[in-house]
Structure 1
Amino acid sequence: MVGESGSQHHQFLIPKVVEQLSPQNGHHVLDIGCGQGVLAPHIAKKKATYTGIDISPTLIKQARKHHGTKGRFIVGNAHDLRSIPELTAGTYNSAVFLLSIQDMRYPEKAIISAGWALKPGGTLVLCMLHPAFRIPRQSGWGFDEKRKLIYRRIDSYLSRLDVPLRKDYQTKETLTRSYHRPVGFYVNALSSRNIHTTGFEELPSPKSNNEVLSKPERRALCEFPLFLIITAKKA
Protein backbone atom coordinates (compact mmCIF):
# COMPACT_ATOMS: atom_id res chain seq x y z
CA MET A 1 0.00 0.00 0.00
CA VAL A 2 1.32 3.45 -0.91
CA GLY A 3 -1.07 5.73 1.00
CA GLU A 4 -3.71 8.15 -0.19
CA SER A 5 -1.33 10.50 -2.00
CA GLY A 6 1.00 7.80 -3.32
CA SER A 7 4.68 7.11 -2.81
CA GLN A 8 7.46 9.67 -3.14
CA HIS A 9 7.94 8.40 -6.68
CA HIS A 10 4.26 8.97 -7.49
CA GLN A 11 4.42 12.51 -6.16
CA PHE A 12 7.47 13.21 -8.32
CA LEU A 13 6.06 11.63 -11.48
CA ILE A 14 2.39 12.59 -11.46
CA PRO A 15 2.87 16.26 -12.50
CA LYS A 16 5.00 15.11 -15.44
CA VAL A 17 2.51 12.42 -16.44
CA VAL A 18 -0.44 14.82 -16.23
CA GLU A 19 1.45 17.25 -18.47
CA GLN A 20 1.81 14.52 -21.12
CA LEU A 21 -1.81 13.38 -20.79
CA SER A 22 -2.98 16.99 -21.12
CA PRO A 23 -6.45 16.29 -19.68
CA GLN A 24 -9.10 18.90 -20.42
CA ASN A 25 -12.71 19.56 -19.56
CA GLY A 26 -14.79 16.81 -21.15
CA HIS A 27 -11.88 14.44 -21.77
CA HIS A 28 -11.94 10.80 -20.67
CA VAL A 29 -8.74 9.39 -19.13
CA LEU A 30 -8.07 5.67 -18.54
CA ASP A 31 -5.56 4.66 -15.84
CA ILE A 32 -4.47 1.07 -16.57
CA GLY A 33 -3.13 -0.73 -13.53
CA CYS A 34 -4.34 2.13 -11.35
CA GLY A 35 -3.54 0.54 -7.99
CA GLN A 36 -4.92 2.75 -5.24
CA GLY A 37 -5.98 5.44 -7.69
CA VAL A 38 -3.50 8.14 -6.68
CA LEU A 39 -3.74 9.76 -10.13
CA ALA A 40 -7.52 10.27 -9.92
CA PRO A 41 -7.66 13.60 -8.01
CA HIS A 42 -5.10 15.15 -10.37
CA ILE A 43 -7.24 14.26 -13.39
CA ALA A 44 -10.46 15.38 -11.70
CA LYS A 45 -8.81 18.72 -10.92
CA LYS A 46 -8.52 19.29 -14.68
CA LYS A 47 -12.30 18.66 -15.08
CA ALA A 48 -11.66 15.44 -17.01
CA THR A 49 -13.42 12.13 -16.35
CA TYR A 50 -11.21 9.46 -14.76
CA THR A 51 -11.56 5.67 -14.98
CA GLY A 52 -9.13 3.38 -13.16
CA ILE A 53 -8.68 -0.34 -13.91
CA ASP A 54 -6.80 -2.83 -11.72
CA ILE A 55 -6.84 -6.60 -11.40
CA SER A 56 -6.61 -6.43 -7.59
CA PRO A 57 -9.95 -6.14 -5.75
CA THR A 58 -8.04 -5.06 -2.64
CA LEU A 59 -6.42 -2.12 -4.41
CA ILE A 60 -9.68 -1.11 -6.10
CA LYS A 61 -11.37 -1.15 -2.68
CA GLN A 62 -8.70 1.23 -1.37
CA ALA A 63 -9.03 3.43 -4.46
CA ARG A 64 -12.78 3.74 -3.96
CA LYS A 65 -12.29 4.48 -0.27
CA HIS A 66 -9.81 7.31 -0.82
CA HIS A 67 -10.77 8.67 -4.25
CA GLY A 68 -14.27 7.37 -4.99
CA THR A 69 -15.61 10.88 -5.57
CA LYS A 70 -12.88 11.65 -8.12
CA GLY A 71 -13.54 8.89 -10.63
CA ARG A 72 -14.72 5.39 -11.41
CA PHE A 73 -12.73 2.34 -10.30
CA ILE A 74 -13.23 -1.08 -11.88
CA VAL A 75 -11.72 -4.51 -11.23
CA GLY A 76 -10.44 -5.81 -14.55
CA ASN A 77 -7.55 -7.34 -16.47
CA ALA A 78 -5.33 -4.90 -18.37
CA HIS A 79 -4.48 -7.66 -20.85
CA ASP A 80 -8.10 -7.81 -22.02
CA LEU A 81 -9.94 -4.52 -21.57
CA ARG A 82 -12.52 -5.71 -24.11
CA SER A 83 -13.83 -8.14 -21.49
CA ILE A 84 -14.80 -5.31 -19.10
CA PRO A 85 -18.48 -4.46 -19.73
CA GLU A 86 -18.12 -0.90 -18.45
CA LEU A 87 -15.55 -0.02 -21.15
CA THR A 88 -16.26 0.82 -24.79
CA ALA A 89 -13.80 0.77 -27.68
CA GLY A 90 -12.42 4.08 -28.92
CA THR A 91 -13.85 6.29 -26.18
CA TYR A 92 -10.79 7.55 -24.29
CA ASN A 93 -8.83 10.68 -25.12
CA SER A 94 -5.82 9.38 -23.21
CA ALA A 95 -4.59 6.35 -21.29
CA VAL A 96 -1.67 5.79 -18.95
CA PHE A 97 0.39 3.05 -17.36
CA LEU A 98 1.74 4.77 -14.24
CA LEU A 99 4.45 2.48 -12.84
CA SER A 100 2.27 -0.49 -13.77
CA ILE A 101 3.26 -1.96 -17.13
CA GLN A 102 6.36 -3.70 -15.73
CA ASP A 103 4.05 -5.56 -13.32
CA MET A 104 2.13 -7.09 -16.24
CA ARG A 105 3.12 -10.52 -17.55
CA TYR A 106 2.17 -9.69 -21.15
CA PRO A 107 2.85 -5.97 -21.70
CA GLU A 108 2.26 -6.30 -25.44
CA LYS A 109 -1.31 -7.45 -24.73
CA ALA A 110 -1.79 -4.52 -22.36
CA ILE A 111 -0.63 -2.11 -25.08
CA ILE A 112 -3.02 -3.69 -27.59
CA SER A 113 -5.84 -3.26 -25.05
CA ALA A 114 -4.91 0.37 -24.49
CA GLY A 115 -5.02 0.98 -28.24
CA TRP A 116 -8.48 -0.59 -28.36
CA ALA A 117 -9.74 1.84 -25.70
CA LEU A 118 -8.23 4.99 -27.23
CA LYS A 119 -9.90 7.30 -29.70
CA PRO A 120 -8.06 7.95 -32.98
CA GLY A 121 -5.51 10.63 -32.13
CA GLY A 122 -5.62 9.63 -28.46
CA THR A 123 -2.52 9.81 -26.26
CA LEU A 124 -0.89 6.86 -24.50
CA VAL A 125 1.68 7.41 -21.74
CA LEU A 126 3.97 4.67 -20.44
CA CYS A 127 5.73 5.66 -17.21
CA MET A 128 8.13 3.07 -15.80
CA LEU A 129 11.40 2.40 -14.07
CA HIS A 130 14.04 2.88 -16.75
CA PRO A 131 14.49 -0.54 -18.41
CA ALA A 132 18.09 0.19 -19.39
CA PHE A 133 19.36 1.10 -15.94
CA ARG A 134 16.93 -0.28 -13.32
CA ILE A 135 16.63 -4.00 -13.94
CA PRO A 136 15.46 -5.93 -10.87
CA ARG A 137 18.24 -8.19 -9.54
CA GLN A 138 20.32 -7.48 -12.66
CA SER A 139 21.64 -3.98 -11.93
CA GLY A 140 23.19 -2.06 -9.07
CA TRP A 141 25.73 0.50 -7.97
CA GLY A 142 29.49 0.05 -7.79
CA PHE A 143 32.36 2.28 -6.62
CA ASP A 144 35.64 2.75 -8.45
CA GLU A 145 38.05 3.46 -5.60
CA LYS A 146 40.83 4.67 -7.88
CA ARG A 147 38.65 7.17 -9.76
CA LYS A 148 36.39 7.93 -6.76
CA LEU A 149 33.48 7.33 -9.09
CA ILE A 150 30.13 5.64 -8.58
CA TYR A 151 29.08 3.64 -11.63
CA ARG A 152 25.98 1.70 -12.66
CA ARG A 153 26.45 -2.04 -13.10
CA ILE A 154 24.23 -3.79 -15.66
CA ASP A 155 24.34 -7.60 -15.66
CA SER A 156 21.57 -8.19 -18.22
CA TYR A 157 19.52 -6.00 -20.54
CA LEU A 158 18.29 -7.51 -23.83
CA SER A 159 16.95 -10.72 -22.28
CA ARG A 160 13.29 -10.73 -21.30
CA LEU A 161 13.08 -11.47 -17.60
CA ASP A 162 10.42 -12.65 -15.17
CA VAL A 163 11.77 -11.54 -11.80
CA PRO A 164 10.16 -12.64 -8.50
CA LEU A 165 10.20 -9.70 -6.09
CA ARG A 166 8.25 -10.65 -2.99
CA LYS A 167 7.36 -13.98 -1.41
CA ASP A 168 5.05 -15.16 1.33
CA TYR A 169 7.58 -16.25 3.95
CA GLN A 170 5.28 -18.98 5.25
CA THR A 171 4.15 -20.58 1.98
CA LYS A 172 7.18 -19.43 -0.08
CA GLU A 173 4.71 -18.47 -2.80
CA THR A 174 5.77 -15.58 -5.04
CA LEU A 175 3.38 -12.67 -4.47
CA THR A 176 4.73 -10.06 -6.89
CA ARG A 177 6.85 -10.13 -10.02
CA SER A 178 8.50 -7.68 -12.36
CA TYR A 179 8.63 -8.31 -16.10
CA HIS A 180 11.67 -6.75 -17.73
CA ARG A 181 11.71 -5.83 -21.41
CA PRO A 182 14.31 -3.68 -23.23
CA VAL A 183 13.32 -0.19 -24.35
CA GLY A 184 13.01 -1.24 -28.00
CA PHE A 185 10.30 -3.73 -27.06
CA TYR A 186 7.98 -0.94 -25.94
CA VAL A 187 8.64 1.29 -28.96
CA ASN A 188 8.07 -1.62 -31.35
CA ALA A 189 4.97 -2.84 -29.49
CA LEU A 190 3.47 0.63 -29.82
CA SER A 191 4.30 1.14 -33.49
CA SER A 192 2.98 -2.32 -34.42
CA ARG A 193 -0.44 -1.14 -33.21
CA ASN A 194 -0.23 2.19 -35.09
CA ILE A 195 0.55 4.02 -31.86
CA HIS A 196 3.52 6.20 -32.68
CA THR A 197 6.05 7.57 -30.21
CA THR A 198 5.97 11.36 -29.85
CA GLY A 199 7.98 11.84 -26.66
CA PHE A 200 10.76 10.12 -24.76
CA GLU A 201 11.77 11.56 -21.38
CA GLU A 202 14.42 10.10 -19.06
CA LEU A 203 14.21 11.32 -15.49
CA PRO A 204 16.77 11.15 -12.67
CA SER A 205 15.91 10.22 -9.12
CA PRO A 206 14.23 13.04 -7.16
CA LYS A 207 17.01 12.46 -4.63
CA SER A 208 19.62 13.79 -7.08
CA ASN A 209 19.26 17.33 -5.68
CA ASN A 210 19.81 16.25 -2.07
CA GLU A 211 22.67 18.39 -0.74
CA VAL A 212 23.43 15.83 1.97
CA LEU A 213 24.75 13.43 -0.67
CA SER A 214 28.40 13.34 -1.64
CA LYS A 215 29.48 14.74 -5.01
CA PRO A 216 29.95 11.24 -6.52
CA GLU A 217 26.49 10.21 -5.28
CA ARG A 218 24.81 13.29 -6.74
CA ARG A 219 26.63 12.87 -10.04
CA ALA A 220 25.61 9.22 -10.33
CA LEU A 221 21.96 9.94 -9.55
CA CYS A 222 21.93 12.77 -12.11
CA GLU A 223 23.65 10.75 -14.85
CA PHE A 224 21.70 7.49 -14.65
CA PRO A 225 17.95 8.01 -15.04
CA LEU A 226 15.57 6.28 -12.66
CA PHE A 227 12.43 6.64 -14.79
CA LEU A 228 11.40 6.59 -18.44
CA ILE A 229 8.25 8.23 -19.79
CA ILE A 230 7.23 7.29 -23.35
CA THR A 231 4.43 9.34 -24.88
CA ALA A 232 2.69 8.07 -28.00
CA LYS A 233 -0.31 8.91 -30.16
CA LYS A 234 -2.78 6.53 -31.81
CA ALA A 235 -3.08 7.03 -35.56
Structure 2
Amino acid sequence: MPGPPRRPFRRQGPPPPPKDKGWDPVAAWYDKLVGEDGSDYHKHVILPATLKLLDPKEGESVIDVCCGQGVLVRPLLETGIARFTGVDASPKLIEAAKSRHGNNPRVKLLTADACKPGAWADGSHDAATCLMAVHDVPDPVAMFRNVAQSLKPGGRAVMVFMHPCFRIPRQSHWGWDAEHKIQYRRLDRYGSQLDIPITTHPGRKSGELTMFHHRPLSDLLSALGQGGLGVVACEELYSHRRSQPGPRSRGEHRAAKEFPMFIALKALRLG
Protein backbone atom coordinates (compact mmCIF):
# COMPACT_ATOMS: atom_id res chain seq x y z
CA MET A 1 0.00 0.00 0.00
CA PRO A 2 1.31 3.53 -0.68
CA GLY A 3 2.68 5.55 2.21
CA PRO A 4 1.77 9.03 3.39
CA PRO A 5 3.19 12.16 1.78
CA ARG A 6 5.86 12.69 4.37
CA ARG A 7 9.43 11.99 3.35
CA PRO A 8 10.18 10.19 0.06
CA PHE A 9 12.57 7.38 1.02
CA ARG A 10 15.01 7.67 -1.83
CA ARG A 11 18.68 7.33 -1.10
CA GLN A 12 20.98 6.95 1.83
CA GLY A 13 23.73 9.47 2.38
CA PRO A 14 25.67 11.16 5.12
CA PRO A 15 23.64 12.79 7.86
CA PRO A 16 22.90 16.48 7.27
CA PRO A 17 24.72 18.97 9.46
CA PRO A 18 22.89 20.01 12.62
CA LYS A 19 20.37 22.77 11.97
CA ASP A 20 18.31 24.89 14.30
CA LYS A 21 15.76 25.88 11.66
CA GLY A 22 14.02 22.56 11.34
CA TRP A 23 12.61 22.00 7.87
CA ASP A 24 13.55 25.44 6.54
CA PRO A 25 15.64 24.10 3.63
CA VAL A 26 12.67 22.10 2.31
CA ALA A 27 9.87 24.36 3.51
CA ALA A 28 8.70 25.45 0.04
CA TRP A 29 8.59 21.87 -1.21
CA TYR A 30 6.82 20.61 1.90
CA ASP A 31 4.31 23.45 1.91
CA LYS A 32 3.41 22.69 -1.69
CA LEU A 33 3.15 18.98 -0.90
CA VAL A 34 0.91 19.35 2.14
CA GLY A 35 -0.79 22.68 1.54
CA GLU A 36 -3.07 24.64 3.83
CA ASP A 37 -5.53 21.86 4.59
CA GLY A 38 -3.15 18.91 4.72
CA SER A 39 -2.46 15.93 2.51
CA ASP A 40 -4.93 13.20 1.66
CA TYR A 41 -3.81 11.35 4.78
CA HIS A 42 -4.22 14.45 6.93
CA LYS A 43 -7.77 14.96 5.74
CA HIS A 44 -8.99 11.38 6.02
CA VAL A 45 -6.91 9.89 8.84
CA ILE A 46 -4.64 12.19 10.85
CA LEU A 47 -6.82 15.25 11.46
CA PRO A 48 -10.03 13.33 12.30
CA ALA A 49 -8.14 11.16 14.80
CA THR A 50 -6.46 14.21 16.34
CA LEU A 51 -9.70 16.09 16.86
CA LYS A 52 -11.42 13.00 18.25
CA LEU A 53 -8.73 12.34 20.85
CA LEU A 54 -8.15 16.01 21.69
CA ASP A 55 -11.87 16.79 22.01
CA PRO A 56 -11.30 20.57 21.99
CA LYS A 57 -13.77 22.70 23.90
CA GLU A 58 -15.11 26.16 23.16
CA GLY A 59 -13.01 28.83 24.80
CA GLU A 60 -9.90 26.68 25.29
CA SER A 61 -6.32 27.57 24.43
CA VAL A 62 -4.46 25.05 22.25
CA ILE A 63 -0.78 24.98 21.27
CA ASP A 64 0.42 23.05 18.22
CA VAL A 65 4.09 22.09 18.60
CA CYS A 66 5.96 21.64 15.31
CA CYS A 67 2.95 23.21 13.60
CA GLY A 68 4.53 23.49 10.15
CA GLN A 69 2.39 25.51 7.75
CA GLY A 70 -0.59 25.35 10.08
CA VAL A 71 -2.76 22.47 8.89
CA LEU A 72 -4.47 22.37 12.29
CA VAL A 73 -5.34 26.06 12.52
CA ARG A 74 -8.63 26.03 10.64
CA PRO A 75 -9.99 22.72 12.05
CA LEU A 76 -9.29 23.84 15.62
CA LEU A 77 -10.69 27.34 15.19
CA GLU A 78 -13.87 25.79 13.79
CA THR A 79 -14.37 23.99 17.12
CA GLY A 80 -14.63 27.34 18.91
CA ILE A 81 -11.33 27.43 20.75
CA ALA A 82 -10.37 30.89 21.96
CA ARG A 83 -6.67 30.83 21.14
CA PHE A 84 -4.37 28.89 18.82
CA THR A 85 -0.59 29.05 19.23
CA GLY A 86 1.67 27.40 16.68
CA VAL A 87 5.37 26.77 17.22
CA ASP A 88 7.85 25.56 14.61
CA ALA A 89 11.62 25.76 14.15
CA SER A 90 11.31 26.67 10.47
CA PRO A 91 10.88 30.43 9.85
CA LYS A 92 9.72 29.68 6.31
CA LEU A 93 6.96 27.32 7.43
CA ILE A 94 5.87 29.84 10.06
CA GLU A 95 5.75 32.49 7.34
CA ALA A 96 3.60 30.17 5.24
CA ALA A 97 1.25 29.74 8.21
CA LYS A 98 1.17 33.50 8.79
CA SER A 99 0.34 34.15 5.15
CA ARG A 100 -2.85 32.15 5.67
CA HIS A 101 -3.78 32.82 9.28
CA GLY A 102 -1.60 35.67 10.52
CA ASN A 103 -4.39 38.25 10.47
CA ASN A 104 -6.64 36.23 12.75
CA PRO A 105 -6.54 37.72 16.27
CA ARG A 106 -7.09 34.25 17.75
CA VAL A 107 -3.91 32.91 16.14
CA LYS A 108 -0.32 33.34 17.33
CA LEU A 109 2.55 31.81 15.35
CA LEU A 110 6.09 31.58 16.74
CA THR A 111 9.45 30.46 15.41
CA ALA A 112 11.05 28.29 18.08
CA ASP A 113 12.87 24.98 18.46
CA ALA A 114 10.56 22.50 20.17
CA CYS A 115 13.53 20.79 21.84
CA LYS A 116 14.89 23.94 23.47
CA PRO A 117 13.46 25.87 26.44
CA GLY A 118 11.28 28.78 25.35
CA ALA A 119 8.86 31.34 26.67
CA TRP A 120 6.08 29.61 24.72
CA ALA A 121 6.16 26.69 27.18
CA ASP A 122 4.46 28.82 29.81
CA GLY A 123 1.82 26.53 31.30
CA SER A 124 -1.07 28.56 29.91
CA HIS A 125 -2.64 26.09 27.47
CA ASP A 126 -5.49 23.67 28.02
CA ALA A 127 -4.33 21.29 25.31
CA ALA A 128 -1.42 20.62 22.96
CA THR A 129 -0.89 18.79 19.68
CA CYS A 130 2.11 17.50 17.75
CA LEU A 131 1.43 16.02 14.33
CA MET A 132 3.88 13.99 12.27
CA ALA A 133 6.93 15.43 14.02
CA VAL A 134 7.94 13.09 16.85
CA HIS A 135 10.22 11.23 14.43
CA ASP A 136 11.73 14.50 13.18
CA VAL A 137 13.21 15.74 16.45
CA PRO A 138 16.55 14.47 17.80
CA ASP A 139 15.60 14.75 21.48
CA PRO A 140 12.05 13.52 22.15
CA VAL A 141 12.41 13.84 25.93
CA ALA A 142 13.20 17.54 25.58
CA MET A 143 10.28 18.10 23.24
CA PHE A 144 7.85 16.19 25.46
CA ARG A 145 9.09 18.17 28.46
CA ASN A 146 8.36 21.43 26.66
CA VAL A 147 4.94 20.17 25.58
CA ALA A 148 4.17 19.29 29.21
CA GLN A 149 5.41 22.65 30.45
CA SER A 150 3.23 24.45 27.92
CA LEU A 151 0.13 22.92 29.53
CA LYS A 152 -1.88 23.81 32.57
CA PRO A 153 -1.78 21.17 35.35
CA GLY A 154 -3.73 18.18 34.08
CA GLY A 155 -3.71 19.54 30.53
CA ARG A 156 -3.85 17.06 27.66
CA ALA A 157 -1.72 16.49 24.59
CA VAL A 158 -2.27 14.49 21.41
CA MET A 159 0.61 13.30 19.27
CA VAL A 160 0.29 11.52 15.92
CA PHE A 161 3.31 10.08 14.15
CA MET A 162 4.46 7.28 11.86
CA HIS A 163 3.91 3.96 13.58
CA PRO A 164 7.37 2.95 14.84
CA CYS A 165 6.52 -0.77 14.71
CA PHE A 166 5.55 -0.84 11.04
CA ARG A 167 6.80 2.28 9.24
CA ILE A 168 10.59 2.53 9.35
CA PRO A 169 12.30 4.09 6.32
CA ARG A 170 14.38 1.51 4.43
CA GLN A 171 13.80 -1.04 7.21
CA SER A 172 10.15 -1.94 6.54
CA HIS A 173 8.70 -3.13 3.26
CA TRP A 174 5.62 -4.64 1.64
CA GLY A 175 5.91 -8.14 0.22
CA TRP A 176 3.59 -10.51 -1.60
CA ASP A 177 3.12 -14.19 -0.73
CA ALA A 178 1.92 -15.76 -3.97
CA GLU A 179 1.14 -19.13 -2.39
CA HIS A 180 -1.20 -17.73 0.25
CA LYS A 181 -2.20 -14.66 -1.79
CA ILE A 182 -1.51 -12.24 1.05
CA GLN A 183 0.39 -9.02 1.33
CA TYR A 184 2.72 -8.99 4.30
CA ARG A 185 4.83 -6.41 6.11
CA ARG A 186 8.52 -7.21 6.41
CA LEU A 187 10.69 -5.61 9.10
CA ASP A 188 14.44 -5.72 8.78
CA ARG A 189 15.15 -3.76 11.97
CA TYR A 190 13.08 -2.36 14.80
CA GLY A 191 14.68 -2.54 18.25
CA SER A 192 17.64 -0.25 17.54
CA GLN A 193 17.48 3.52 17.59
CA LEU A 194 18.16 4.69 14.04
CA ASP A 195 18.90 8.11 12.58
CA ILE A 196 17.99 7.75 8.92
CA PRO A 197 18.83 10.51 6.40
CA ILE A 198 16.07 11.07 3.86
CA THR A 199 16.42 12.86 0.54
CA THR A 200 13.54 15.13 -0.44
CA HIS A 201 12.66 16.42 -3.92
CA PRO A 202 12.41 12.95 -5.51
CA GLY A 203 13.50 12.80 -9.12
CA ARG A 204 16.21 15.42 -8.82
CA LYS A 205 19.86 14.52 -8.98
CA SER A 206 20.37 16.23 -5.67
CA GLY A 207 18.08 17.21 -2.86
CA GLU A 208 18.01 18.41 0.69
CA LEU A 209 18.47 15.88 3.44
CA THR A 210 16.20 15.61 6.44
CA MET A 211 16.59 13.16 9.30
CA PHE A 212 14.10 10.52 10.40
CA HIS A 213 14.72 9.42 13.99
CA HIS A 214 13.38 5.92 14.56
CA ARG A 215 12.83 4.96 18.18
CA PRO A 216 11.19 1.74 19.41
CA LEU A 217 7.76 2.28 20.90
CA SER A 218 9.00 1.45 24.40
CA ASP A 219 11.62 4.21 24.14
CA LEU A 220 9.02 6.74 23.04
CA LEU A 221 6.62 5.82 25.85
CA SER A 222 9.46 6.13 28.35
CA ALA A 223 10.45 9.48 26.84
CA LEU A 224 6.90 10.74 27.34
CA GLY A 225 7.06 9.83 31.01
CA GLN A 226 10.49 11.39 31.42
CA GLY A 227 9.13 14.54 29.83
CA GLY A 228 6.26 14.74 32.30
CA LEU A 229 3.42 13.25 30.25
CA GLY A 230 1.38 10.15 31.00
CA VAL A 231 -0.40 8.28 28.19
CA VAL A 232 -4.10 7.70 28.82
CA ALA A 233 -5.31 6.64 25.35
CA CYS A 234 -3.92 5.21 22.14
CA GLU A 235 -5.29 4.65 18.65
CA GLU A 236 -3.54 2.90 15.78
CA LEU A 237 -4.48 4.51 12.49
CA TYR A 238 -4.90 2.62 9.23
CA SER A 239 -4.82 3.75 5.63
CA HIS A 240 -8.11 4.76 4.07
CA ARG A 241 -6.81 3.98 0.61
CA ARG A 242 -7.65 0.82 -1.31
CA SER A 243 -5.94 -0.62 -4.37
CA GLN A 244 -7.50 -0.95 -7.79
CA PRO A 245 -9.36 -4.18 -8.63
CA GLY A 246 -6.99 -6.97 -9.59
CA PRO A 247 -5.57 -10.34 -8.57
CA ARG A 248 -3.89 -8.85 -5.47
CA SER A 249 -6.59 -6.43 -4.37
CA ARG A 250 -8.15 -8.74 -1.77
CA GLY A 251 -4.80 -9.36 -0.10
CA GLU A 252 -3.88 -5.69 -0.28
CA HIS A 253 -7.21 -4.64 1.24
CA ARG A 254 -6.71 -7.08 4.08
CA ALA A 255 -3.19 -5.79 4.74
CA ALA A 256 -4.44 -2.21 4.80
CA LYS A 257 -6.80 -3.16 7.61
CA GLU A 258 -4.18 -5.11 9.59
CA PHE A 259 -1.05 -2.94 9.52
CA PRO A 260 -1.42 0.59 10.92
CA MET A 261 0.43 3.46 9.31
CA PHE A 262 0.27 5.92 12.21
CA ILE A 263 -0.14 5.88 15.96
CA ALA A 264 -2.02 8.50 17.97
CA LEU A 265 -1.32 8.99 21.67
CA LYS A 266 -3.26 11.07 24.16
CA ALA A 267 -1.34 12.07 27.28
CA LEU A 268 -1.92 14.20 30.35
CA ARG A 269 0.52 16.50 32.07
CA LEU A 270 1.79 14.80 35.21
CA GLY A 271 2.08 16.61 38.52
Are 2:264 and 1:229 equivalent residues in the alignment?
yes
| 1:136 corresponds to | 169
Are 2:108 and 1:72 equivalent residues in the alignment?
yes
Q: Is the 8 A contact 2:193 2:213 kept in 1?
A: yes
Q: Is the 8 A contact 1:33 1:54 kept in 2?
A: yes
Q: Is the 8 A contact 1:164 1:174 kept in 2?
A: no
Are 2:143 and 1:110 equivalent residues in the alignment?
yes
Between Structure 1 and Structure 2, the one with more strand by share is 1
Aligned with residue 223 of structure 2, among 147, 168, 189: 189
C-alpha RMSD over aligned residues:
1.8
Structure 1: how far apart are the matches of 2:87 and 2:163?
A: 23
Structure 2: how far apart are the matches of 1:215 and 1:29?
A: 42
- Aligned-residue offset at 1:76: 0.5
Give the fraction of aligned pairs with identical amino acids, expressed as a percent.
36
- Aligned-residue offset at 1:24: 1.4
| 2:40 corresponds to | 8
Moved over 6 A (4+): none
Q: What amino acid maps onto 1:94 in structure 2?
A: A
| 2:3 corresponds to | none
SS in 2 for 1:229: strand
- What is the CA deviation profile of residues 172-217 of structure 1, one whole-angstrom value per residue up to 9, with x for unaligned ones? 6753111111111121112234421111101111114x66471001
SS in 2 for 1:228: strand
Unaligned runs of at least 5 residues, structure 1: none
Are 2:57 and 1:18 equivalent residues in the alignment?
no
Deviates more, 1:219-228 or 1:10-19: 10-19
Are 2:181 and 1:148 equivalent residues in the alignment?
yes
- Aligned-residue offset at 1:127: 0.2
- Aligned-residue offset at 1:106: 1.2
Q: Is the 8 A contact 2:144 2:224 kept in 1?
A: yes
TM-score by length of 1: 0.91
Q: How many residues align?
A: 230
- When residues 55 and 155 of structure 1 are mapped into structure 2, their CA distance, relative to the original with a 3 A threshold, is same
SS in 1 for 2:153: strand
- When residues 167 and 46 of structure 1 are mapped into structure 2, their CA distance, relative to the original with a 3 A threshold, is closer
